[in-house]
Amino acid sequence: VLLSAPLYDCADNVLSYNICEICVCSCDCLVGCTDAYACNYDVDAIEDDGSCTYAENNYDCDGNCIAEIDCAGVCGGSADEDICGECNGDGPEECWDGSMECNPSDCPDQPGETIEIMY
């Protein structure tokens, strides 16, 4: 697409009738970030000057977390709380009798061996 209209520099001199040649203007108001998704988008910029900046993943342009914060406090993190309430924990441990306990010291005592003594 070729846009044809007179283009002027900052001193009102006709530069061209082709918008693609606007780069010859020494007026700084025509260059800037032209990506509307960038944090520093310049609605007045006609030519992109490579200055666009973007928010980090899971954050907005002001540095605010826009994703869920996991149990470890990480924005957009994947840590989960196990059934024992421990962040990224391994869950309960199996006791000798097959029961499951979060704290192994809560497992029932294993019965001692019975030795039969005959007279």
Domain ranges of the chain: 4-48, 67-107
Q: Is the pLDDT of residue 23 over 70?
A: no
CA 14 to centroid of chain Cα atoms? 46
**Residues near 111 by beta carbon (within 8 Å), at least 6 away in sequence:** none
Summarize the chain as % helix, strand, coil (round to 5): 10, 20, 70
CA 107 to the chain's CA centroid: 42
Nearest to 71 by CA among 55, 84, 62, 60: 84
Instruction: For the chain, give the mean pLDDT.
Output: 84
pLDDT at 52: 98
39 Cβ neighbours under 8 A, 6+ residues apart: 52, 53, 54, 55, 61
What does pTM read for this prediction? 0.55
Say what the pLDDT of residue 1 is. Answer: 44
pLDDT at 118: 77
